[in-house]
């Protein structure tokens, strides 16, 4: 979908690496950074229309390969990892390239600002503290939703009740995600942890 009108909100997508890694043998799953074992990491920052749908691939501006170095490779790999590749792989930045090409080009932000804004949000709405004591166990989905602001402020993502991610929604002010807001029904409906209130919080081996 090409960008035809100005997106009105942002969806901030988190990944729960232990759930994403379930059944996988990716390098980052077998040798994770300690941060990935206890915290949500970034999947992406997605401009979206307030009702439903989102623009994609709004320009042909190529990904600037120097962005990870400008921000700091250690910071990027900690907070926005691609566990499918070893960090030394020449393909490691393909995930960031994809997120910029599909979503960042519709943000109205420079590449450096787009990535920095996404990184800033991981500190403004960090991993809910309620999650920590349940890593490796089951917990209430509603309790986790409450940690993100309540049921209308987050969509949890599960596969067979195994947590693997979450979406929160943000007001857009001059292209900047300025404040968390209630999500539109189109986002809330993407919650896939609704089969029961019991969700599985998998763990990863800690190095």
Active site residue 99: yes
**Assigned domain for 132 exists:** yes
**Assigned domain for 33 exists:** yes
**Assigned domain for 93 exists:** yes
User: Residue 1 above 80 pLDDT?
Assistant: no
Which band of pLDDT confidence, cut at 50, 70 and 90, is reported for residue 7? confident
Which band of pLDDT confidence, cut at 50, 70 and 90, is reported for residue 5? low
Active site residue 190: no
**Assigned domain for 104 exists:** yes
**Assigned domain for 67 exists:** yes
Range of the domain at 185: 9-201
Distance CA(187)–CA(207), nearest Å, equals 35
CATH number of the structural domain spanning residue 23:
3.90.730.10
Distance CA(152)–CA(8), nearest Å, equals 18
**How many helices and strands, by DSSP H and E, does the chain display?**
10, 7
**Assigned domain for 16 exists:** yes
- 11 closest CA partner among 181, 168, 176: 168
**Assigned domain for 4 exists:** no
**Assigned domain for 2 exists:** no
Distance CA(154)–CA(99), nearest Å, equals 21
pLDDT of residue 60: 97
Active site residue 43: yes
Choose the catalytic residue: 22, 103, 137, 190.
103
Q: What's the pLDDT tens digit per position in 95-117?
A: 999 999 999 999 999 999 999 99
The total domain count for the chain is: 1
Distance CA(183)–CA(165), nearest Å, equals 16
Choose the catalytic residue: 22, 61, 98, 99.
99
Choose the catalytic residue: 43, 61, 98, 137.
43
């Amino acid at each position: 979908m090409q960008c035809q009108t100005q997106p009105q909100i942002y969806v901030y997508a988190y990944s729960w690496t232990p759930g994403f890694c379930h059944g996988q043998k990716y390098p980052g799953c077998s040798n994770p950074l300690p941060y990935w074992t206890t915290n949500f990491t970034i999947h992406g920052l997605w401009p979206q229309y307030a009702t439903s749908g989102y623009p994609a691939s709004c320009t042909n501006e190529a990904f600037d390969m120097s962005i990870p170095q400008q921000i700091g490779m250690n910071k990027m790999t900690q907070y926005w990892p691609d566990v499918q590749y070893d960090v030394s792989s020449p393909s490691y930045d393909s995930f960031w390239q994809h997120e910029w090409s599909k979503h960042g080009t519709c943000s109205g932000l420079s590449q450096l600002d787009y990535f920095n804004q996404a990184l800033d949000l991981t500190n403004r709405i960090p991993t809910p503290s309620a999650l920590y004591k349940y890593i490796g166990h089951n917990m209430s989905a509603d309790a986790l939703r409450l940690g993100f602001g309540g049921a209308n402020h987050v969509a949890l993502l599960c596969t067979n009740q195994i947590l693997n991610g979450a979406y929160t929604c943000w007001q857009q002010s001059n292209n900047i995600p300025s404040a968390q807001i209630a999500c539109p029904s189109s986002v809330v409906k993407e919650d896939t942890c609704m089969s029961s209130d019991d969700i599985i919080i998998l763990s990863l081996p800690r190095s």
